[in-house]
Structure 1
């Protein structure tokens, strides 16, 4: 099965509904990491949210969601491209203990210095398609509340989010009021929006993670006429590779690489995003600096000792 995001509109086009449920993509994200449950939940919620927001990008590029803080977790970053391929990472502050009952505030905003950044980065920088960056204070106890605050204050869009993640699934539901659309004849302007959010508010994290999207949408909005769009596939994609790591080591220089070899007997590099390990032994490192040498081990998968 392919992980998919599904989009709907209320019949009068006043409310957008989007839902995503990630299984393979989320397991790929966790494959080389040993995140604690609270870190996993935080990252999974931001991953699900990134796909819901990136699905509405009108250019070829990336949406980056970044939470930077002063708590036990120093940084959370998710990048989701317009084709809904994504990667993500979490940085835990060295020597800090991450409490399992932590909230967004206690994990990232202990002293009020937390910041939430949204970056829209077009692949090709042309007039009208330059990089956009929005930064707001980190408000709310959850990822959903922080994003709702950002969408209201920076984008002037009423948006509600329901997000959940565990070790197997990451899922989310977005309900958004669209501008410049009236209601049905005889319907108050806010009635469709109020109805859409009220029904979604009955949703719990367990249901969001365990019920497939089609069933979930039917349960919530079976009395509504929804316009459905073609599903969009979601996948994990990290562009790291042994060749890129080798080039990075070359940039470090022979002296630095030799120093690491002398201390550890090998050089091991972990990708910041996917966590995949790349191991270079003494022979590999020597060949890095040989003129016109191929990338050591580039034809073979990395080995961990």
Structure 2
């Protein structure tokens, strides 16, 4: 089965694996945009990576992965919920060509100003609680290496990632060495643990992109680890989900302020905002805008009276 993420645990419980294969959801993301092949590949790899990370968060909320660069690609953003509903977008710089053979560094980081960031945003934040954000320099020659660099600086667990994407599929594998439990480990136990990790890595390093892109998670794991005993967990389904709404756009207009919105209305006759992710268009005519700010003012007055 595709559009699934599956987790596996090695028999000695010292290594876990995650395998993801995304087809329909990936095609739905692409259907809304016309990205050059090199951009498509990088976006697909980040889409796969986002599900591998989101599958491990311990709260109800979202993981946002962001590649921000100073090259032809200005920004790549993928947002994935804990239940693996996701959306993605790319912003290209106008007038900058995107060659089909462009590399990770040449497209995103030619002048060394690129950044990789991970935002963890709980759905039910406590008062004053801010999302956690980690930012690192854009290291490595691929999305996988950039993410491994981030994991190395932010977590104590050994983590390796393999990613691949084309127009039909976005896929990935994550291996993580788990912490040892149950007191002080003996040298023999430590050696066995390291042996499992090394075997898992050696076999995963034989992965070819075409295997990642053509095999469902169970088939891939059987091919890689047919001599190992792994416990497989129930699969999680991946879906496309854009959370844009007219209410959220209205909040954006309120933050812009009445004066700026009036200037847009005077120039264009209406305010039109398109969602960067699903490209849905939201239109506000002069009556809509007047009503929006009138309701906001009435709400502020009501709150002020109730406080006295």
TM-score band, normalised by the shorter chain? 0.7 to 0.9
Question: Once the two structures are superposed, what CA deviation does each residue of 1:46-91 show, in whole Å capped at 9, x if it has no partner?
Answer: 0100100111101112111111111111111111111111121111
C-alpha distance in 1 between matches for 2:190 and 2:63: 39
Larger CA deviation: 11-20 vs 268-277:
268-277
C-alpha distance in 2 between matches for 1:247 and 1:123: 18
- Report the CA distance shift for 1:185/1:243 in structure 2 as closer, same or farther (over 3 A): closer
- Report the CA distance shift for 1:31/1:249 in structure 2 as closer, same or farther (over 3 A): farther
Deviation at 1:144, TM superposition (A): 0.3
The match for 1:64 is 64
Deviation at 1:191, TM superposition (A): 0.7
The match for 1:217 is 221
Deviation at 1:225, TM superposition (A): 0.7
Deviation at 1:253, TM superposition (A): 2.2
Deviation at 1:162, TM superposition (A): 1.0
- Report the CA distance shift for 1:12/1:204 in structure 2 as closer, same or farther (over 3 A): same
Deviation at 1:211, TM superposition (A): 1.2
Q: Which has the higher helix share?
A: 2
Question: Once the two structures are superposed, what CA deviation does each residue of 1:169-194 show, in whole Å capped at 9, x if it has no partner?
Answer: 11111111112156986953311111
- Give yes or no for contact 1:5–1:18 (8 Å, CA) kept in 2: yes
1:178 matched to 2:182 = no
1:230 matched to 2:238 = no
Ranges in structure 1 where 5+ consecutive residues have no aligned partner: 293-305
Larger CA deviation: 9-18 vs 112-121:
112-121
How many residue pairs match? The answer is 284
- Report the CA distance shift for 1:153/1:248 in structure 2 as closer, same or farther (over 3 A): closer
C-alpha distance in 2 between matches for 1:59 and 1:32: 30
Ranges in structure 2 where 5+ consecutive residues have no aligned partner: 293-308
- Report the CA distance shift for 1:33/1:121 in structure 2 as closer, same or farther (over 3 A): same
Q: 2:265 aligns with which of 219, 244, 257?
A: 257
Which structure 2 residues correspond to residues 44-193 of structure 1 after superposition, within 5 A?
44-126=44-126, 131-180=131-180, 188-193=192-197
- Give yes or no for contact 1:249–1:257 (8 Å, CA) kept in 2: no
The match for 2:273 is 269
C-alpha distance in 2 between matches for 1:80 and 1:191: 33
